Structure 1
Amino acid sequence: MASYTVEADEWGVHGITLEAGTVCTVHFPDDVDEVEVLSHDGVAAIYFTVDSSEPAVEGRASRVLPAAISSAQVEPPTAGPTVVKLISAGTPKVSVTRT
């Protein structure tokens, strides 16, 4: 499981290649108002959560970016540190940033 921390003076992490079937976690130690998940290459669908819960491939409690170059901006429903978790059945390249 890959894990990244984005400090308060940083925007995000870029160009992460997800490992198929493995959760990747991005920690923001501060309370982020909105995050963006960006699919660079559209190789595979990306499933993610923004409330620190575990995402699942095709999971009903997960948000999804289709297998296309695309992005989603989401307001985390929690207060305090923001935790974004991602998973995919493939190996897409993604960025996770504050907006």
Structure 2
Amino acid sequence: MATHTVASGEIAAHAITLVANTVETIAFEGGLGTVTVLSHDGTSAVYFTTDGTTPTVAGAHCWCVPAAVGACTVPVSTYGPNSIKAISAGTPTISVQRGT
């Protein structure tokens, strides 16, 4: 499991290539109201959580970016962790960026 940190005042962590079936954590310093997960290449679906729980591939408790070039923006609880955890069955490249 790898961890990336987005410092306070920075917007995003870009060009993260996921390792198949391995959780990747992206931590945000400072406030986090929403988060956007962007799939650069759409090679495989990306599943992610914003509440500190561990995501699983096709997990019912996960948000999903489908296997297509695209993005998913979701709210983050102000009481939860300032991080997201992502997983995929493949090796897509993603960016994760801070919203308002």
TM-score with structure 1 length normalisation?
Answer: 0.95
C-alpha displacement of 1:21:
0.4
C-alpha displacement of 1:52:
1.3
Distance in 2 (alpha carbons) for counterparts of 1:80 and 1:63: 16
**1:16 is paired with a residue of what secondary structure?**
strand
Tell me, yes or no, if the aligned pair for 1:5 and 1:27 is still in contact at 8 Å.
Answer: yes
Q: 1:24 maps to what in 2?
A: 24
C-alpha displacement of 1:5:
0.7
Distance in 1 (alpha carbons) for counterparts of 2:25 and 2:75: 17
Identity %: 46
| Structure 2, gaps ≥5 residues long | none
C-alpha displacement of 1:80:
5.9
Q: 1:89 maps to what in 2?
A: 89
Task: List aligned pairs for 1:60-71, cutoff 5 A.
Answer: 60-71=60-71
Instruction: Tell me which amino acid in the other structure corresponds to 1:63.
Output: W
C-alpha displacement of 1:81:
4.3
Tell me, yes or no, if the aligned pair for 2:52 and 2:81 is still in contact at 8 Å.
Answer: no
Where do 4+ consecutive residues of structure 1 move more than 3 Å? none
Q: Please provide the CA RMSD for this pair.
A: 1.1
